[in-house]
Amino acid sequence: MADDLLSQLKSMTTVVADTGDLETIRRFQPTDATTNPSLILQAAQQAGRHQRLTELARHATDIDDALDAVAVEIGSEICELVPGYVSTEVSARLSFDTDGTLARARSLVERYGRHGVSPERILIKVASTWEGIRAARVLEREGIHTNLTLLFSFTQARACADAGATLVSPFVGRILDWHRAHDPEADFSGDNDPGVQSVKRIYEHLKGHGYHTIVMGASFRNSGEIKALAGCDRLTISPALLGELAESRGTLARRLTPLDAETRAPEPQDEAEFRWALNEDAMATEKLAEGIRKFMADQRKLEALLGELRQG
């Protein structure tokens, strides 16, 4: 009998758990784990965390301090369960603030150090805005690894790779969501999925031009998208889809294969070129803005919870 699909996927792709839930991570044994404001909010609300959350809130100097304390505490617990990277996100409120992103990223790495977690284990997640990409360039030169998130376009991916980002996270499912909403009668199954097509294009460009940036597909809506990207450097997968793959049998074919760099990379885009290309891509422009708003909405919920605990 063939191995389950999750085991087969692990043989060709680094599997990353898209969750802050420790039990899920113990069950599926991924190499890495990613978190974001929404997942930190979910983890913070789990039974058994209330007392510790209260302690962190009451010892914090302000809400930002409390937010980062919670994110790093949960991230440090995850670091004990996975051998690879753990991604922790800079506040979505700083998506258009390069200097603010730099300060917050450095602070997060310092906090992890106080928990005994080295910078080599952490990916600082930064939105793939022009300002976020500029911050990533500086952080990478300082030895702080970055995960450029909320990425919906080839233009964003190019700029991130030119900046030397350790990893980029194209959002497969949210790209599909936009196209379904705008063309509900179209067939987006299998290789017709525009999110899958986006990751393949990014992967082939980066590998074909010798970039070291890791490509990690994210935000999957179904297991078919994951199967279509088998062989990608990394895939970050929700608990539900990890479970589906673990329970499924059959043969999983490699769909992406590393390429030898054949040509030199094109000249990096300047700010005007980046902003114009992003503006021309309605899907990417709309989903980037929406993604920042959604992460900020969940961050505000966590801020409100921590504020109550600080006062209580």
Q: Which residues are designated catalytic?
A: 125
Pairing of strands 146-151, 214-217: unpaired
Q: Rounded distance, CA 291 to CA 289, Å? A: 5
Q: Are the CB atoms for 82 and 25 separated by under 8 Å? A: yes
Q: Rounded distance, CA 146 to CA 102, Å? A: 11
Q: Are the CB atoms for 154 and 146 separated by under 8 Å? A: no
DSSP-assigned beta bridge partners for residue 206: none
Q: Rounded distance, CA 198 to CA 85, Å? A: 24
Using only C-alpha atoms, the chain has a radius of gyration, in whole angstroms, of: 19
Read off the tokens for 74.
Answer: 């949960």
Read off the tokens for 6.
Answer: 């999750």
Read off the tokens for 216.
Answer: 């990690």
- CA atoms 193, 198, 199, 203: torsion sign: positive
- CA atoms 72, 130, 17, 13: torsion sign: negative
Q: How far is CA 117 from CA 26, 86, 108, in A?
A: 19, 10, 11
